[in-house]
């Protein structure tokens, strides 16, 4: 197998609150032979500032891309928001010469240049395309056959198709397949591709809570023993906010929410401690008993 080496783009949400994703991702990627190189310097991908000033988003993203180009390495992001933004800006600037000139005009002032020579992928894409299902299957030592889970891939892994173009946004199968490699059963439910609402929680919290409540409800209906996410923001909605949702809507879900990397890690034989399962808000002891 050719060497798989990536610059790890952590983003802001993961070091801020979701270390369990980083810890488990590093463990499983090492086992799969994916070599991670730390970003020599970092700034926010720019996504949160797009609503304020589009140009600022462009230069923040382009800055990260230019740094990666200097390292001669592709970027892998754990957060679909970062991956989607960097990917989109990379593509737009590669195509639009005028915009590229404009952005480079800004970057020049700081001694950087965007050339368009790097690539950006989300971890799920690296797992599916670079590592491959076969290789992942080989590392599974402890198949999770007792477990039935529902996926929540998150919007930015799927859409807009024009810039992501990796899975079918109307009928996604990649996360399902990745889940089934661990031996767990991936359960279908009615609104798997629906948004959790997380991006607007700072403006309006009731709408995202209602959206997530509805999804949890549909997951419970099909008997999900856990929810599997690949986005730190979605994870916050389902895990950290689950007790709040239960309080506000007077419901009981108690459905544990695992990062896909934790699920895979368990199947690889890592201990719950090694995968930082205790850092999750919703208690996971019930499902751990099944393993």
Partner 1 sequence: MNERFGNEFARVIKNMFSLTYSLNQKAGKVGLTGEVKLMSEKRQLKKIEQRKVLRSTDMDLRFKYKISETPGAEKIMLCFQCGTCTADCPIARFSESYRPRKLMRMTQLGLKERVLSSDVIWLCAACFTCVDRCPQDVGISSVLRALRNLAVKEGYMPRVYRDLAANILKTGYAYRISELRLKKRKEQELPALPKANLASIGKLSKITGFSKLVETEGEKSARS
Query: Could you list the residues that contact partner 1 (CB under 8 A)?
Result: 10, 12-13, 15-17, 19, 22-23, 26, 38-44, 48-56, 59-60, 63, 92, 96, 99, 106-107, 109-112, 155-156, 159-161, 169-170, 193-195, 197-200, 202-204, 206-208, 210-211, 276
Beta carbon of residue 59, minimum distance to partner 1 (angstroms, whole number):
5
Which is closer to partner 1, CB of 134 or CB of 250? Answer: 250
Nearest residue (CB) to partner 1, 2 versus 111 = 111
Residue placing its CB nearer to partner 1 in the complex, 64 or 284: 64
Q: Which is nearer to partner 1, 147 or 231 (CB)?
A: 231
**Alpha-carbon distances, residue 191 vs 150, 271, 274 (angstroms):** 11, 32, 32
Q: Of 202, 279, 198, nearest to 241 (Cα)?
A: 198
Rounded to 5°, the CA angle 110-114-116 comes to: 170
Distances (CA, A) of 27 to 16, 241, 256, 279: 19, 26, 20, 16
* Separation between Cα atoms, residue 104 and residue 94, nearest integer Å: 12
Instruction: Return d(Cα 165, Cα 286) in angstroms, integer.
Output: 37
Contacts of 178 (CB under 8 A, 6+ apart): 124, 127, 128, 133, 136, 260, 264
Please state the closest distance from residue 212 (CB atom) to partner 1, in A.
11
Instruction: Name the minimum Å distance from CB 98 to partner 1.
Output: 10
Q: Which is nearer to partner 1, 59 or 245 (CB)?
A: 59
The least CB distance from residue 250 to partner 1, in Å, is: 17
């Amino acid at each position: 197998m050719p060497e798989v080496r990536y610059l790890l783009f952590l983003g802001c949400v993961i070091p801020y609150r979701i270390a369990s994703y980083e810890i488990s991702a590093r463990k499983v990627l090492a086992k799969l032979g994916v070599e991670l190189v730390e970003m020599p310097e970092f700034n926010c991908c720019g996504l949160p500032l797009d609503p304020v000033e589009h140009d600022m988003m462009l230069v923040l993203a382009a800055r990260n891309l230019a740094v990666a180009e200097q390292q001669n390495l592709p970027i892998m992001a754990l957060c679909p928001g970062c991956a989607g933004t960097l990917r989109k800006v990379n593509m737009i600037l590669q195509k639009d010469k005028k915009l590229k000139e404009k952005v480079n005009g800004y970057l020049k002032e700081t001694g950087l240049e965007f050339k368009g020579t790097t690539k950006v992928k989300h971890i799920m894409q690296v797992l599916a395309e670079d590592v491959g299902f076969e290789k992942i299957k080989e590392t599974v030592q402890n198949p999770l056959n007792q477990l039935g889970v529902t996926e929540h891939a998150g919007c930015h892994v799927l859409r807009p198709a024009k810039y992501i173009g990796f899975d079918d946004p109307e009928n996604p199968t990649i996360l399902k397949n990745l889940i089934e490699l661990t031996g767990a059963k991936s359960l279908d439910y009615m609104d798997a591709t629906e948004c959790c609402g997380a991006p607007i929680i700072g403006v309006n919290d009731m709408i995202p809570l209602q959206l997530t409540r509805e999804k949890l409800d549909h997951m419970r209906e099909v008997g999900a023993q856990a929810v599997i996410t690949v986005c730190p923001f979605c994870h916050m909605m389902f895990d950290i906010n689950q007790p709040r949702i239960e309080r506000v809507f007077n419901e009981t879900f108690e459905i544990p929410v695992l990062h896909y990397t934790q699920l895979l890690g368990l199947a690889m034989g890592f201990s719950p401690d090694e995968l930082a399962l205790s850092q999750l808000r919703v208690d996971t002891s019930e499902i751990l008993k099944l393993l």
